């Protein structure tokens, strides 16, 4: 098997992977990810014991035990560019031998669950809901660079969205893990999550920068292919799902709805909505 050069898989002097700053033994195969670095402690405060705490840039990692189960929680910051780094480096930690710089013959499948905040695109999904992303639809450019394969149904969704948005790029569409949905999200609102490359104009928000497509929010809200509709948006889910498909990991994105863009409300108890999603996830993962 090909040796991966030093410039491609960068290993720090202390043997840790470049951005995450972690050694293979620092992580569990079951991982909760969050966008906000401060949310890591909101998860690990429920651990019986914290074994490892590592920080570099926006990637804060705590590994410990919750009711006897070894879990890792990592923050990613915002956006799919960070998910590119997170997923490649987590995969390298479990599937590449750092001594020989060769991929291991036997591949480890990680279970990765995102616990994030999100805005609702439907009046029927109110503030405080917990939405499980059955699909992630990406409007970001990450998958322009990977050989992602998509089914005919997935391609029909992204082709229609491209036409309706009138954009020059093709979105991508990938499902989450059915096993993780059944195990963790069985009582949550089933949804299809739009992953946007920004919080303002890409999500139809106007402060002073303006908006090219004045009907953007309506296009998202009314988008329909057979029974496929968009329920909510955020900034990472589709990147996770696509990288999970490419690298062979099991992925689930869970969304605490803190904004409803149709009713134009923002949750006054956003921390509580996130905390109850954290507790559900910890108990079921």
Site of interaction with ligand URA (CB under 6 A) = 117-119, 199, 203, 233-235, 258-259
Count of CB atoms situated within 10 Å of the CB of 71? 25
* C-beta of residue 190 within 8 angstroms of C-beta of residue 252: no
With respect to ligand URA, which residue has the nearer C-beta, 88 or 203?
203
Characterize 250-284 residue by residue with b for buried, 16 or more Cβ atoms within 10 angstroms of its Cβ, and e for exposed: bbbbbbbbbbbbbeeeebeebeebbbebbebbbee
Shortest gap between Cβ of 81 and ligand URA (angstroms)? 15
Residue least distant from ligand R1P (Cβ): 35
Contact at 8 Å (CB) between 201 and 211? Answer: yes
Q: Is the CB of 46 or the CB of 98 nearer to ligand R1P?
A: 46
Cα–Cα distances in Å, from 204 out to 138, 168, 181, 199, 220?
15, 18, 29, 8, 9
Question: Minimal distance in Å, beta carbon 199 to ligand R1P?
Answer: 5
Among ligand R1P, ligand URA, none, residue 259 binds (CB under 5-8 Å by kind): ligand URA
List of residues contacting ligand R1P (CB under 6 A): 34-36, 78, 116-117, 199, 234-236
Phi and psi at 245, nearest 5°, equal: -65, -45
- The smaller minimum CB distance to ligand R1P, of residues 35 and 204, is found at 35
Phi, psi of 113 (to 5 degrees): -120, 120
Other CB atoms within 10 A of residue 18 CB: 14
- Which residue bears the tokens 């570099």? 56
Q: Which is nearer to ligand R1P, 140 or 154 (CB)?
A: 140
Which of ligand URA, ligand R1P, none does 119 bind, CB closer than 5 to 8 A by kind?
Answer: ligand URA
Q: How far is the CB of 218 from ligand URA (least distance, A)?
A: 16
Comparison of 121 and 157: residue with beta carbon closer to ligand URA: 121
Contacted entry of ligand R1P, ligand URA, none for residue 258, CB cut-off 5 to 8 Å set by kind? ligand URA
């Amino acid at each position: 098997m090909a040796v991966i050069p030093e410039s491609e898989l960068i290993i720090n002097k202390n043997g840790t992977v470049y951005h995450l700053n972690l050694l293979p033994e620092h992580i569990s195969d079951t991982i909760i990810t969050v966008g906000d670095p401060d949310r890591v402690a909101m998860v690990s405060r429920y651990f019986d014991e914290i074994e490892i705490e590592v920080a570099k840039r926006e990637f804060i990692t705590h590994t410990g035990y919750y009711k006897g189960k070894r879990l890792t929680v990592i923050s990613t910051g915002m956006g799919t560019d960070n998910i590119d780094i997170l997923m490649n480096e987590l995969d390298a930690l479990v599937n590449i031998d750092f001594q020989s710089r060769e991929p291991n013959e036997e591949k480890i499948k990680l279970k990765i669950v995102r616990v994030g905040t999100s805005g609702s695109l439907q009046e029927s999904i109110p503030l405080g809901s917990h939405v499980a992303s059955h699909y992630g639809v990406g409007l970001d450019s990450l998958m322009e660079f990977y050989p992602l394969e998509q089914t005919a149904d997935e391609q029909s969704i992204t082709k229609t969205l491209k036409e309706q948005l009138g954009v020059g790029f093709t979105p991508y569409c990938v499902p989450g893990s059915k096993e993780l949905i059944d195990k963790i999200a069985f009582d949550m609102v089933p949804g299809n999550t739009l992953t946007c490359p920004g919080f303002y104009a890409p999500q139809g928000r106007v402060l002073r920068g303006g908006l090219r497509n004045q009907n953007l929010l309506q296009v998202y809200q009314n988008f329909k292919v057979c029974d496929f509709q968009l329920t909510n948006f955020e900034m990472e889910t589709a990147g996770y799902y696509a990288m999970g498909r490419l690298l062979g990991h099991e992925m689930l994105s869970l969304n605490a709805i803190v904004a409803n863009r149709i009713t134009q409300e923002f949750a006054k108890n956003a921390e509580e909505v996130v905390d109850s999603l954290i507790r559900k996830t910890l108990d079921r993962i």
